[in-house]
Structures are given as C-alpha cells and as structure tokens.
C-alpha cells in the first residue's frame, strides 16, 4: 500500500493501489457492473466495480450500498479522459462503515430552498455546496495572507459590546448575564454591579480597531457580526462574517486603493486555487480574470443617483442607494466600482466630512459587478474631537457610552481610515450565487436560525 491517499492527489497515484476513505454520493448499477460516485472531502471520483473482476461478496456489497454509505475502498487509480475529474478507480475491495437504513433525504434532484435549508447539515455535502465552502476558505485565507504581507496586524475585536458601532436600528440585544438569583450569587460570594446589563452583539469591530491603530498602525479583524436586519433580501443575513481593516495616517483616496488591492489579491488567489470549484459552479472565470488588470472606477454618489434616475428608478438626490439602484449601477460595470461621498445624514456617525462639501462624507461603498451590489463599506474617520461630538449630539447619541472612543481623539488623534468587507457578499459574487444564504455554512436570517 502506498502512502495515505486523497482524491485530490489522484494524479500522483496512477496505476497504484490505494485506500479511499469516504462516502458514496451516487450510484448506478446494472447486472455486471456498478458505478459508485465517491467523495472523500478533498474531491470526487468515480469507482467502478466489475462483477467478474471482484469476489462475489464485494460485488454484492457494491450493489447493496445506498446513498451516503460510509466506506473504505481499495482500488487502482487510472487516468480516464471521459471521467469528469480525469481519473477513475477500479475497485477491488469494499469495507462498509455504515449503510444508511433510510433513504437519503437529498437523494432526488430539485428540492425547494426551504427543504434544502432545513437539511443544511446534509446539503453541505453536495458538490455545489462543497465548491462554495472551498471558495469561501480560499477567500478567508487570501485576506489573512494579503493583509499580513501589507503589514496589518490581526486584532480581535469583542463580540459582546456595550453600544452601537453602526445604526441602532439593527442592534442585536442580549442579556449580558443570565438572571441569577441573589441566593445563587451569595453562595458563590459574588456581588455584581449590574446584573441587568444589556449587551449588543457586535455589528462591526471598527471602533475597537480605531483604538488599536494607535498601538499598531495598521490592523484588521475578522469575525462574526450581527445585524437585526428587517430586510428580507438575497443580500442580508442576521449573522455574517466581516473583515474590518483600519490604518493610521491613511486618507480617503489611499483607503480606496487599499480596498482595490485587497479585492484583486482575493480574486487572484481564488482563480489560482479553485479552478475545479469554479468549474463545478459553472462560473465564467474570464469575467473575474479581466478585473485583475483594470482600475476600479470611482464615481460620486450624486452621479450614481443620476444613473439610477436615468433608468427610471424613483430615487432622491440625497437618498441611500437601495438594493435596486445598486444592482442597476453594478450591472453597468465589468469591474467593481467605488461610489464615494454620500450625504452625511444617511451615513454612520464616525465618517469625516468632505472638506469641499461638508454635507457629504469621505466614504465609499464598493459595488461588485454583475448586479451584486455592495461588498465593502469604508470611510475616512472624523478625527477632530469637537466636530465629532457636535455631530453625535445632533444625532442624539449618548456621548457617555462613547467616552472611550472619544479619548482616541483626545490623545494623539491622527487622520485615519478603514473599511469592512462582508465575507458572504464576496463569496456570493465570486461564486455567482443567487442568494447569500448559500455562502455561509449555517445561515441565520430574519426568520431562520436552525439547524
């Protein structure tokens, strides 16, 4: 027996006898031959069992296997140009670990989205879902390695937070502690100052990264973030993964350049590492490749509104771009496009006003092409204490909650900028998915938090 075998390494095992540990994801058999579609986590391969080339028990075992049987199979790897993977396995022996007694719920084709989501724990095994999660992995890995190369330090922002980082309308409140009785606490000799405190699940680690740049210069985080989204769209999850990056002495233009470089690094990594996955997803890769050596256009919010109005969308001068306008605009470009300088009143409190027009902010959204819409939101931050507090007061924010954040402007304030990229939006765009729910292993949405 050769060294440990995985399907992804088939090319190194041609004409060799190997042991494959995996699952039967499909099966076809006739009187004298059985075809087993096998999966081992690293890839897919077809195994062939020929009646008169194996023992009668092995052939019988092959015929008795049902979908999702777990198996240890011995066989010979051979090249086969007709096989989807380019390789096939001539099976000589089958050891079964478990044969399901019931019919596999996802065995038939064409299930509705609800059925699939209810069976997400099984659906993850399907070829498409396999490919999507591997692309997701490649994106995560590319973000870490690119930012590390660029000198960013990973800082872990907290998940339980005392106040809002973004709009309060999407805050996810949770009791900070369970309601322990005085008796229970007395027994442990614990006195708590505020047992009834409410915490909010993090909407973004940004504010904490702004603290960390004074220690490290360039930092990033990557973690789960939460929004109690009232929108039921194909782009919104209540729990999603976001990477925030923040850098000292970086202004608006350079902030956008950093985003562009990161997106190109991600695309390059996925194209290099995931050709099989993109092929399974039937993703047109030339569209993605063509982005690599093009400059991303930058257009003003004002012009973006005009573009949308030209297409008969009813939208006001100072409105946010809704999903519809974003789709419309991003359909017009074959690269991601920056929309910059939104009206101040529709954006988060921390954004710096544009010195040329104080009613607008030095921010950007980055819209992915092909109608995918916003994948990144970024801005230069207000670094002037007086301006920041004046605006926060106007927004009726409770300054007491943000004293620590305001300290960052009191002690060594500097121009700085950052951005947040939504992982599921990136996955959905790169894999060309209808809905972000497929881009995360176990999606949490407005009306779903199972399984």
Residues within the interface to ligand 4AD (CB under 6 A):
165-166, 203-204, 206, 227, 229, 236-237, 240, 242, 244, 374-378, 418-420, 422, 424-425, 436
CB of 374 to Mg ion, least distance (A): 6
Nearer Cβ to ligand 4AD (240/296):
240
Chosen from Mg ion, ligand 4AD, none, partner binding at 378 (C-beta under 5 to 8 Å by type): ligand 4AD
CB of 118 to ligand 4AD, least distance (A): 21
How many other C-beta atoms are found inside a 10 Å radius of the C-beta of residue 361?
27
Nearer Cβ to Mg ion (369/377):
377
Show the tokens assigned to 294.
């093009």
* 236-262 b/e (C-beta count within 10 Å ≥ 16 → b): bbbbbbbbbbbbbebebeebbebbbeb
Nearer Cβ to ligand 4AD (213/307):
213
CB of 444 to ligand 4AD, least distance (A): 10
Q: Contacts with Mg ion: how many residues (CB under 5 A)?
A: 1
E strands, 30-159, in order:
33-39, 44-50, 70-79, 87-98, 153-154
CB of 318 to Mg ion, least distance (A): 16
E strands, 211-278, in order:
218-226, 239-248
CB of 323 to Mg ion, least distance (A): 12
What residues contact 35, with CB distance under 8 A and at least 6 apart?
27, 28, 29, 46, 47, 48, 49
Residue 418 sits in the site that holds Mg ion (CB under 5 A): no
Is residue 204 classed exposed, middle or buried when 0-12, 13-18 and 19+ CB atoms within 10 A define those classes?
buried
CB of 306 to ligand 4AD, least distance (A): 22
Chosen from ligand 4AD, Mg ion, none, partner binding at 210 (C-beta under 5 to 8 Å by type): none
Nearer Cβ to Mg ion (75/373):
373
Contact 200, 163 (CB under 8 A): yes
Nearer Cβ to Mg ion (165/274):
165
Chosen from Mg ion, ligand 4AD, none, partner binding at 88 (C-beta under 5 to 8 Å by type): none
How many other C-beta atoms are found inside a 10 Å radius of the C-beta of residue 124?
13
CB of 170 to ligand 4AD, least distance (A): 8
Tell me the CA distances in angstroms from 38 to 6, 10, 60, 73, 431, one per residue in order.
Answer: 11, 13, 17, 10, 24
CB of 440 to ligand 4AD, least distance (A): 9
Nearer Cβ to ligand 4AD (75/422):
422
Interaction residues for Mg ion, span 355-384 (CB under 5 A)? 377
DSSP letters spanning 122-133: HHTTSHHHHHHH
Nearer Cβ to Mg ion (69/203):
203
In whole angstroms, give the CA distance from residue 363 to residue 320.
13
Contact 258, 250 (CB under 8 A): yes
Which residue of this chain has its Cβ atom nearest to Mg ion in the complex? 377
Q: What is the 3-state secondary structure (H, E, C) of 184-218?
A: HHHHCCCCCCCCCCEEEECCCCHHHHHHHHHHHCE
Chosen from ligand 4AD, Mg ion, none, partner binding at 204 (C-beta under 5 to 8 Å by type): ligand 4AD
Nearer Cβ to Mg ion (108/230):
230
- Positions that interact with Mg ion (CB under 5 A): 377
């Amino acid at each position: 027996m050769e060294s440990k075998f995985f399907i992804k390494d088939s090319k190194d095992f041609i004409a060799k006898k190997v042991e494959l540990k995996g699952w039967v994801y499909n099966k076809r058999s006739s009187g004298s031959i059985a075809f087993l579609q096998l999966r081992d986590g690293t890839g897919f391969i077809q195994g062939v069992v020929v009646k008169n080339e194996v023992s009668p028990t092995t052939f019988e075992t092959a015929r008795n296997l049902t979908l999702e049987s777990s198996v240890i199979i011995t066989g010979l790897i051979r090249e086969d140009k007709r096989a989807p993977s380019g390789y096939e396995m001539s099976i000589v022996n089958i050891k079964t670990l478990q044969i399901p007694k019931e019919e596999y719920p996802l065995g038939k084709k064409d299930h509705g989205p609800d059925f699939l989501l209810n069976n997400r724990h099984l659906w993850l095994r399907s070829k498409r879902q396999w490919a999507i999660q591997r692309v997701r992995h490649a994106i995560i890995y590319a973000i870490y390695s690119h930012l590390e190369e660029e000198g960013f330090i990973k800082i872990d922002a907290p998940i339980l937070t005392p106040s809002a980082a973004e709009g309060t309308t999407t805050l996810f409140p949770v009791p900070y502690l369970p309601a322990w009785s005085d008796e229970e606490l007395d027994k442990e000799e614990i006195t708590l100052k505020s047992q009834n405190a409410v915490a909010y699940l993090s909407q973004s680690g940004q504010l904490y990264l702004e603290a960390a740049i004074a220690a490290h210069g360039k930092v990033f985080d990557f973690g789960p973030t939460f929004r109690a989204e009232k929108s039921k769209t194909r782009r919104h999850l209540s729990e999603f993964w976001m990477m925030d990056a923040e850098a000292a002495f970086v202004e608006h233009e350079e902030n956008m350049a950093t985003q562009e470089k990161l997106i190109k690094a991600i695309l390059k990594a996925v194209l290099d590492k995931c050709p099989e996955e993109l092929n399974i997803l039937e993703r047109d890769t030339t569209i993605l490749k063509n982005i690599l050596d093009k400059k991303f256009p930058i257009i003003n919010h004002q012009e973006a509104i005009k573009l949308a109005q030209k297409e008969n969308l009813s939208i006001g001068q100072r409105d946010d771009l809704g999903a519809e306008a974003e789709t419309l605009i991003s359909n017009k470009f074959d690269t991601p496009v920056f929309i910059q300088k939104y009206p101040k009143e529709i954006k988060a409190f921390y954004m710096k006003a544009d010195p040329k027009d104080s009613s607008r902010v030095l921010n950007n959204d980055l819209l992915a092409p092909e109608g995918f819409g916003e994948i990144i939101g970024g801005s230069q931050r207000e670094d002037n204490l007086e301006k920041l507090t004046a605006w926060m007061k106007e927004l009726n924010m409770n300054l007491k909650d943000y004293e620590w954040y305001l300290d960052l402007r009191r002690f060594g304030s500097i121009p700085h900028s950052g951005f947040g990229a939504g992982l599921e939006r990136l996955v959905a765009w790169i894999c060309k998915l209808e809905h972000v729910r497929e881009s995360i292993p176990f999606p949490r949405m407005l009306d779903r938090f199972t399984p």
